[in-house]
Structure 1
Amino acid sequence: MKHSLIKNKKIAIIGGGPVGLTTARILQINGADVTVYERDLNAQARTSGGTLDIHLDSGQKAIEKAALMGEFYKYARPTGEKMTDLHGNITSTEMPDEENAYTRPEIDRNDLRKIMLENLNEHTVVWNSHLTHMEKTGAQYHLEFKNGTTAISDFVIVANGGRSNARKLVTDLEPQLSGTYIIQGEIADPDRDYPEFKPKYGNGNVMAMGEQKMFYTHTLRDGSVHFGVSFKADENWISNNGIDFEDLTAVRVFLNETFKNWSDDYKKFFNAATDFSGLPLRLFSLEDSWKEHSNITLVGDAAHLMPPFAGEGVNMGLFDTYHLTENLTNGKFATIDDAIKDYEEKMFGYALGAQHMTKKMEDLLHSDISSEDILNSRFEV
């Protein structure tokens, strides 16, 4: 009979994103007493953003370990990608063939969250739980939340993103600006507000590069479109160019001026958008080791935040889940700390490699080389 590290342990997961929820699901089906603390008000809070491409050799391993591949296939879909130039011309089309249809399928963020939530025990997720303070007393962690509640845990898995306030118990390092700024927009009804888009570009992803800028779109399962633009922006630009994203007119003026040399095809996105958001992109590098810690670890963006330009962020987070839960349940380790140490050694290797690849893509996508050259480079970095 193998030794169970999670038996009779109260496990707290901080953060109810894809990584935190998948971790909870795997531990729960292995008999763990696990609670997820999520800052969102309730399960109906919409997760903004585009689709996620979940890779066969990393992210899907965790979903398979969670015994939810059947549910995943109900929502995931093979998705093509068109490359375009500044004039809106389609320069290349990449479509997954039958053999590779589910090597990197796309799934909406909300759908992935829905799958996990529907397959957790009732009351696993405690909503409206914004962590404000956590400290270790003896062998246990004491957690305090903004709503005035508290909790005690024997083992903590920190999965609350790149700006995590719980990371400091594992490392004093902080994320650094990557040098790129992204502005995202949503078009709820593109058939009405931008009827020319889908007949020309279809329902797949669209990507364009030029003038050291990038433009992309994702079409969600309900037909709505998420788009984004990114450009180089140092700390001085960020501090000197505040944008009020509640002022749609001001955002459109800024984008139209920034992309003034680009086709009207792109400007129609700006004018049709019903919602904007923006943020400087950050990197939490794994170049430096973490300080000593016990019965606590980091997963996902909390562990290795990286910009989205290689599509590795969520996949590396789910890969964390796969390795960490395997170590906690396979009976090969004497203590939780032994399991954590082995997981972190593996994670520092594969996630650092993903960060290096992401940095190369970030530089390529915001350079002056052609779309065709960038498409080829995506398979060489």
Structure 2
Amino acid sequence: MVLQNQHIAIVGGGPGGLTLARLLQVQGATVHVYERDQSRDVRVQGATLDLHEDSGLAALRQAQLLDEFKAHYRPGADRLRLLDQHASIVYDQHAEAQSTTFGDTHFRPEIDRGPLRTLLLDSLRPGTVVWDHRLAGITAHGTGWRLAFENGTTATADLVIGADGANSILRPLLTPIRPFYSGVTVVEGTVYDAARNAPRLHALTQGGKLFALGASRSLITSAKGDGSLCFYTGCHAPEGWVRASGIDFSDERQVLAWFRQEFAGWDEVWEELFTTGATQFVPRPQYCMPLDQTWAAQPNLTLLGDAAHLMPPYAGEGVNMAMLDALELSYCLTGGQFSELRAAIEHYEVHMRQRASQAAQETLVQTEALHSPHALAHLLNLFDVRQEQDRSC
């Protein structure tokens, strides 16, 4: 194994980084994960995650964690209702019999981010994750690296893997290529105790997801196991809109005024998301890495997840791509087919970039389609195609 006597540092404790740490430890590797969060008890934000059979679930299966996943996923949370801007239901998966299960290509079970992180953390050796270590910089150190953290501490490693997200500190060491703006900006929020604070939308979501589309805009809600409701608005906007708008996104009244103007004509039920008095709103311009990106492989540094191939979320590929990165990288590093690290990393990166390019292309098409005047018809057609595929299996 090319990792013999090698100390591995993974920067970033998201699903991709933790999955890789587990896969490497199963093979006997020495690895630490450096995570900026102060502890494992920090609230995990964001919507639920749907894991795919050939990526996220495949990684958990190889990590010997599929049974643990089955004990913590949320049956029914993958069921979706498609609505128009007037909150009229035009498609309802809750009315359909469940036709797929584990092992089926189109089965995409949902799990909240918190439970997924917990099961991955619990699978690691004690002390693997080093909390409260936000990376400040990295410099060459012999044949490896010295990592410096904002808390004043340092660490050394023979191999460093950047799983540190869209604003990766490590990526510039490999390539100057930067992402481009997709043309769509999202405003994200979470309504806690949704049954009380957003009762109509809580009832409409019915423990699953809502996709509301109309007037070239989108609004997606996702129920979580803790009773909260995550949501994302999406609309075309100039790249610098967040700053140029002058909106204080910590001021609920300003955000509600923006929503009423930007989503004019939408049913008032959607305003429940903006009137709880406790929602934190986060604007997120959506970026994508160039589809033809490339860089020269190094023998002691590589990337996975958003740090490698950032893309918008509208095809549900983000976490699955990161976990598949972890699976394929672990194969290259521990499978015995390579005699030196650079060859293992180069093989992984070439295939990772090819796979990510295809996914990004599909994601960009989907992003544009969901923010077009014909979004409802597009998504209805997509569901019809998937249903035909399920019936033919």
TM-score class, shorter-chain normalisation, is: over 0.9
Instruction: Specify the alignment match of 1:30 in structure 2.
Output: 27
Instruction: Specify the alignment match of 2:319 in structure 1.
Output: 314
Which of 4, 16, 37 is residue 40 of structure 1 equivalent to?
37
Instruction: Write the deviation string for residues 105-124 of structure 1: whole angstroms up to 9, x where unpaired.
Output: 11111111111111111111
- Counterpart-to-counterpart distance in 1, 2:205 and 2:179: 36
Alignment of 1:1-381 (within 5 A): 4-78=1-75, 79-94=78-93, 97-102=97-102, 103-272=107-276, 274-377=279-382
SS for the counterpart of 1:62 is helix
Instruction: Write the deviation string for residues 151-189 of structure 1: whole angstroms up to 9, x where unpaired.
Output: 110011110001101111111112222211111111111
Instruction: Between 205-214 and 286-295, report the one with greater CA deviation.
Output: 286-295
Distance 1:334 1:166, change over 3 A: same
Matched letter for residue 211 of structure 1? A
Contact 2:16 2:326 in 1 (8 A): yes
Instruction: Between 298-307 and 164-173, report the one with greater CA deviation.
Output: 164-173
How many residues are matched?
378
Instruction: Write the deviation string for residues 244-269 of structure 1: whole angstroms up to 9, x where unpaired.
Output: 22212211221122222100121122
- Counterpart-to-counterpart distance in 2, 1:94 and 1:344: 38
Contact 2:10 2:163 in 1 (8 A): yes
- Counterpart-to-counterpart distance in 2, 1:196 and 1:98: 25
Contact 1:309 1:358 in 2 (8 A): yes
SS for the counterpart of 1:215 is strand
CA root-mean-square deviation: 1.8
Instruction: Write the deviation string for residues 78-104 of structure 1: whole angstroms up to 9, x where unpaired.
Output: 421000011110000135754423421
Deviation, 1:219, is: 0.3
Instruction: Between 278-287 and 111-120, report the one with greater CA deviation.
Output: 278-287
Matched letter for residue 93 of structure 2? E
SS for the counterpart of 2:275 is helix
User: Where does the alignment leave 5 or more consecutive residues of structure 1 unmatched?
Assistant: none
Matched letter for residue 187 of structure 1? V
- Counterpart-to-counterpart distance in 2, 1:99 and 1:174: 42
SS for the counterpart of 2:290 is coil
Contact 1:361 1:378 in 2 (8 A): no
- Counterpart-to-counterpart distance in 2, 1:202 and 1:244: 32
- Residue identity over aligned pairs, in percent, reads 38
Deviation, 1:291, is: 3.3
SS for the counterpart of 2:298 is coil
- Counterpart-to-counterpart distance in 2, 1:110 and 1:262: 32
- Counterpart-to-counterpart distance in 2, 1:201 and 1:13: 37
Deviation, 1:196, is: 2.4
Distance 1:131 1:379, change over 3 A: farther
Deviation, 1:379, is: 7.8
- Counterpart-to-counterpart distance in 2, 1:276 and 1:235: 18
Instruction: Specify the alignment match of 2:389 in structure 1.
Output: none
Distance 1:202 1:173, change over 3 A: same
Contact 2:302 2:345 in 1 (8 A): yes
SS for the counterpart of 1:206 is strand
Instruction: Between 195-204 and 350-359, report the one with greater CA deviation.
Output: 195-204
State TM-score, norm by structure 2: 0.92
State TM-score, norm by structure 1: 0.95
User: Where does the alignment leave 5 or more consecutive residues of structure 2 unmatched?
Assistant: 387-393
- Counterpart-to-counterpart distance in 1, 2:270 and 2:264: 10
Instruction: Write the deviation string for residues 171-214 of structure 1: whole angstroms up to 9, x where unpaired.
Output: 11122222111111111111112222343441110001111110
Matched letter for residue 299 of structure 2? S
